[in-house]
Amino acid sequence: MTPIERFGHLGRSPVQAVDQGDQPADQAAADARVRRAVARLAAVRERTLRVRTARAGDPRAGHRVDHYVFEHDGGELRAVMLTPAGPPPWPAVLVCPGRNATLERVTGLAPPDHPGRDVAAHLTAAGFRTLTLDHGLDRWADPAALGGRDSGDVLDATLRLHGGSLLAALAEDALAALGWLDADPDVDGVGLFGHSMGAAVALHAALLRDEPVPLCAASHLGTYQTMIGELLAWNQYVALPSILRHADLPDLYAALSPAPLQIQYGTSDARLDPADAAAAGERITRHYEPGRAEVLRLPMGHGTDLAEAAGFFTRTLAKPAAAEVAVPAARVFFDVRARLDVLDLVDDALATGSLTLGPTGARLEELASREIGRGTAAVSSGSSALEIALRIVGVAGRTVLVPANTFFATAASAVRAGAAVDFVDLEPDGLGMDPEGLRAALAAHEDVAAVVPVHLAGALPDSLADVLALCAERGVAVVEDAAHALGSSLGGRRAGTFGRLAAFSLYPTKVITSGEGGLLSALGQDDLDRARRLRDHGKRSFEENLHGDLGSNWRMSELHAAVGLTHLARLDEVLAERRALAARYDEGLAGVPALTRPALSPRCSTNHYKYLALLPEGTGREALKRRLRAAGVRLAGEVYDVPLHRQPYFAGRFRDRSFPRAEAFAARHICLPIFPGMTAAQQDRVVQALRDALS
């Protein structure tokens, strides 16, 4: 009886990501789902290896031998590097040995005890620099203390108690070693090799790596149910816990597409079922484009065909023509740790049935209050936050003044709150509301109930002080539209603390997101309490069915709050990354004199929600965007391309009005892509594409 036959009722049926018949309609999306599942289950951390000790060994057979001990946050990692004769750079292969291999035998420093064991030595003889890892499974405990148990099994059991697994830890080591090789100036291209258990490690490192990498996997092919559940020939740590809820082993290999892949398996390998391995191989090659995946059925046991492995890396690590780095307009990114945190919070909400106005939303409000510096309520969107704020002020039947250059929702929220709107031009030297234009608008309307300054692109202008002073003179409430500005400040004072109330957006494109959602901050507790009533149809309390206000359903669900709380907890690192990217743009764009930057206040610490640049007079923005798209660069959306008085909804009333500075800014500015995980190569591509397009 197999474990599945005995306890199958406790598991779930495997989800096969690779269609065994026709290809899925969206193959790339299916592969991406598998990779995301692996990332979630492995939950690896990004590690950087540091060399603690390095020792040169005796040259062997014309190549150099170096012994390394690396250290990282998780401990230490031993490795041996073999470097071929001849000048650099060399293509490199990271070698992940099998369970019973030793560094000395894999690297040829001792005679091999198994066919193909000395794979690193053979690859180096073929011209590759190799780095071979010691997985360290037998060095952590005294064998006598193990009582005959396999040391890897004990390690894996311990890690699983903490929500991890041995395979994930080993893949984390391999990822860090790949990163170390990538950073070596003498290395030109990297590949991955693994045998048996090492093949499982190499496969998962390849799945977890952002950039594709050629993989050669030997003696590790079939389905998990057969390999682990029926043959009983494999330790459980060659698979991630719960992986069959998402994918089987062939699906994992297939999800590497289109990266080059070679899988070797032997017809006399006692640890594999030949029919099971052959069927798995057929599924993988059917998923790949022809010629991109090699599944080799070889006359061998549980070993490696060294010539086939060397030939594979020779073919796949040949230097290709330089490819341009594609740059999207934006990217929403949550790393694995963040996704797991979200899942835990969502699970709590589903388990307790608290799906709205629950403890997660309350924690989000507490954290937001600390970050902003005022009491905060979580609501369904930035637009609803604005409307609630304006209803609290009491704008119905009166006038609200907003900038001419802002998102439609700024004015629409006032209209929905019962107000009439008028617009104010952009200030001459920044991105704020023009104080002189505001003075004129206040004089033209005796019934102004509120002024809504907008912190455009995350920037707070020095002119905000004049706006606040003018409103104070007239006794007019200030409601900040800080939709773009979470984390920004002016003179050390955070956005959202200048007006009576302020609204923030947590839309997916924003610096911090909850998926859909917003935040409302208030100077006074009475305003905050009323905001919380209005978001829930004006109910006096969550428990009472008594309504003292005409509110609406502006609640944030606990599921959205889970995303928002997790993301907001990382605000400092999000801001640090965006500011570093902006500084790099500043440096690179200094060599593109045709572009200028808006004059932001030196007192403003912006979150760089958008990175703005101004085109030369007469430059056609749409034509420029087409040229950039042809070069693989997409610009982010403007802020904004059509001023409010030109929007169809308002155009009739404002047909004869002009706001020249808002119109000029709307026509001339562009927003460069700036997003989480943006690479230096992507930024360089943007700068070069702009230089070429504007030259």
* Position 310, amino acid: A
Number of structural domains the chain divides into: 3
User: For residues 202, 207, 211 and 213, what is the CA-based torsion angle, rounded to 10 degrees?
Assistant: 40
Any bridge partners for residue 75, and if so which? 72
Q: What is the DSSP letter of 448?
A: E
Q: Check residue 140 and give its pLDDT.
A: 59
Contacts (Cβ under 8 Å, ≥6 apart) of 345: 360, 558, 561, 562, 565, 566
Nearest alpha-carbon partner for 635 in 577, 690, 688: 690
Q: What is the DSSP letter of 230?
A: I
In-domain check, residue 327 = no
Ramachandran class of 677: left when φ > 0, alpha when ψ lies in -120 to 50, beta otherwise:
left
Q: Check residue 59 and give its pLDDT.
A: 66
The yes-or-no verdict on residue 145 having pLDDT over 80 is no
At residue 264, the 3 state secondary structure works out as: strand
Q: Check residue 22 and give its pLDDT.
A: 42
Q: How confident is the model at residue 151 (pLDDT cuts 50, 70, 90)?
A: confident
Nearest alpha-carbon partner for 430 in 402, 457, 409, 451: 457
Percent of the chain at pLDDT exceeding 70: 94
Q: Which of 316, 346, 368 is the last residue of a domain?
A: 316
Q: Check residue 2 and give its pLDDT.
A: 55
Q: How confident is the model at residue 114 (pLDDT cuts 50, 70, 90)?
A: confident
Query: CA angle, corner 518, sides to 635 and 457, nearest 5?
Result: 35
For residues 356 and 358, give the distance between their C-alpha atoms in angstroms, rounded to a whole number.
Answer: 5
Q: For residue 44, give both structure tokens.
A: 């690896």
Instruction: Sort 546 into a burial class: Cβ within 10 Å, 0-12 / 13-18 / 19+.
Output: exposed
The yes-or-no verdict on residue 544 having pLDDT over 50 is yes
Determine how β-strand 669-672 pairs with β-strand 187-195.
Answer: unpaired
Sign of torsion over alpha carbons 326, 332, 338, 343: negative
* Position 64, amino acid: R
Q: Check residue 52 and give its pLDDT.
A: 83
In-domain check, residue 69 = yes
Q: At what angle do helices 197-208 and 166-182 cross, to 10 degrees?
A: 60
Here the contacts of 285-293 (C-beta below 8 Å, separation 24 or greater) are 286/18, 286/23, 287/18, 287/23, 287/27, 287/254, 287/257, 288/254, 288/257, 288/258, 288/261, 289/257, 289/258, 292/257, 292/258, 292/260, 292/261, 293/253, 293/257, 293/260, 293/261, 293/262, 293/263
In-domain check, residue 47 = yes
Q: What is the DSSP letter of 397?
A: T
For residues 469 and 615, give the distance between their C-alpha atoms in angstroms, rounded to a whole number.
Answer: 33
In-domain check, residue 441 = yes
State in Å, rounded, how far the first CA of the chain is from the last one: 74
Average pLDDT over residues 506-518: 97
Any bridge partners for residue 64, and if so which? 83
Q: Where are the alpha helices (DSSP H) in 112-165?
A: 119-125, 143-146, 151-161
The answer to whether 162 and 156 have CB atoms below 8 angstroms apart is no
Q: Check residue 289 and give its pLDDT.
A: 86
Same domain assignment for residues 131 and 224 = yes
In-domain check, residue 331 = no
Same domain assignment for residues 616 and 530 = no
Q: Check residue 11 and give its pLDDT.
A: 55
Q: Check residue 20 and give its pLDDT.
A: 43
For residues 439 and 656, give the distance between their C-alpha atoms in angstroms, rounded to a whole number.
Answer: 20
User: Which helix (H) or strand (E) segment is 313 a member of?
Assistant: helix 306-316
Same domain assignment for residues 115 and 47 = yes
For 282, other C-beta atoms within 10 Å of its C-beta total 13
Same domain assignment for residues 403 and 543 = yes
- pLDDT tens digits along 598-648: 989 999 999 999 999 999 988 999 999 999 999 999 999 999 999 999 999
Nearest alpha-carbon partner for 640 in 388, 402, 466: 402
The alpha carbons of the chain give a radius of gyration, in whole angstroms, of 30
Same domain assignment for residues 352 and 395 = yes
- pLDDT tens digits along 593-605: 889 999 899 999 9
The answer to whether 133 and 173 have CB atoms below 8 angstroms apart is yes
Same domain assignment for residues 353 and 295 = no
Which CATH number covers residue 91? 3.40.50.1820
Average pLDDT over residues 445-457: 97
Q: How confident is the model at residue 243 (pLDDT cuts 50, 70, 90)?
A: very high
The yes-or-no verdict on residue 323 having pLDDT over 60 is no
The yes-or-no verdict on residue 7 having pLDDT over 80 is no
Average pLDDT over residues 147-176: 86
Q: For residue 166, give both structure tokens.
A: 């041995």
Same domain assignment for residues 56 and 110 = yes
The answer to whether 190 and 89 have CB atoms below 8 angstroms apart is no
For 620, other C-beta atoms within 10 Å of its C-beta total 11
Q: Which of 316, 351, 376 is the last residue of a domain?
A: 316
Which CATH number covers residue 660? 3.90.1150.10
Q: For residue 332, give both structure tokens.
A: 């929403």
Same domain assignment for residues 492 and 580 = no
Average pLDDT over residues 384-413: 98
Q: Where are the alpha helices (DSSP H) in 448-524?
A: 464-474
The yes-or-no verdict on residue 568 having pLDDT over 50 is yes
Q: How confident is the model at residue 92 (pLDDT cuts 50, 70, 90)?
A: very high
Q: Check residue 584 and give its pLDDT.
A: 97
Same domain assignment for residues 136 and 223 = yes
Q: Which of 546, 570, 594 is the last residue of a domain?
A: 570
Q: For residue 193, give both structure tokens.
A: 């090799």
In-domain check, residue 322 = no
Q: How confident is the model at residue 29 (pLDDT cuts 50, 70, 90)?
A: confident
In-domain check, residue 325 = no
User: Which helix (H) or strand (E) segment is 613 a member of?
Assistant: strand 611-614
Q: Check residue 235 and give its pLDDT.
A: 86
Q: How confident is the model at residue 3 (pLDDT cuts 50, 70, 90)?
A: low
Q: Check residue 560 and give its pLDDT.
A: 98
Q: How confident is the model at residue 325 (pLDDT cuts 50, 70, 90)?
A: low
The yes-or-no verdict on residue 318 having pLDDT over 80 is no
Q: How confident is the model at residue 272 (pLDDT cuts 50, 70, 90)?
A: very high
Nearest alpha-carbon partner for 601 in 490, 498, 450, 447: 490
Q: How far is CA 235 from CA 41, 224, 240, in A?
A: 18, 11, 11
- pLDDT tens digits along 351-395: 999 999 999 999 999 999 999 999 999 999 999 999 999 999 999
Q: For residue 188, give both structure tokens.
A: 């030109």
User: Which helix (H) or strand (E) segment is 106 a member of?
Assistant: helix 103-106
Same domain assignment for residues 194 and 258 = yes
- pLDDT tens digits along 415-433: 999 999 999 999 977 899 9
The answer to whether 453 and 467 have CB atoms below 8 angstroms apart is yes
The answer to whether 159 and 169 have CB atoms below 8 angstroms apart is yes
Domain residues for the domain of 608 are 572-694
Q: Work out the mean pLDDT of the chain and round it to a whole number.
A: 91
Q: How confident is the model at residue 156 (pLDDT cuts 50, 70, 90)?
A: confident
Sign of torsion over alpha carbons 308, 309, 314, 318: positive
For residues 153 and 639, give the distance between their C-alpha atoms in angstroms, rounded to a whole number.
Answer: 56
For residues 472 and 189, give the distance between their C-alpha atoms in angstroms, rounded to a whole number.
Answer: 63
In-domain check, residue 328 = no
Same domain assignment for residues 613 and 664 = yes
C-alpha 331: how far from its chain's center? 7
Q: For residue 26, give both structure tokens.
A: 């969206």
For residues 174 and 155, give the distance between their C-alpha atoms in angstroms, rounded to a whole number.
Answer: 17
Annotate 152-170 with DSSP letters as a single string. Answer: HHHHHHHHHHTT--HHHHH
Of residues 154 and 315, the one with the higher pLDDT is 315
Nearest alpha-carbon partner for 510 in 340, 637, 339: 637
For residues 379 and 371, give the distance between their C-alpha atoms in angstroms, rounded to a whole number.
Answer: 17
The yes-or-no verdict on residue 471 having pLDDT over 80 is yes
Same domain assignment for residues 487 and 592 = no
Which CATH number covers residue 351? 3.40.640.10
For residues 91 and 35, give the distance between their C-alpha atoms in angstroms, rounded to a whole number.
Answer: 26
Average pLDDT over residues 199-215: 95
The yes-or-no verdict on residue 49 having pLDDT over 60 is yes
Q: Check residue 695 and give its pLDDT.
A: 82
Q: How confident is the model at residue 448 (pLDDT cuts 50, 70, 90)?
A: very high
The yes-or-no verdict on residue 482 having pLDDT over 50 is yes
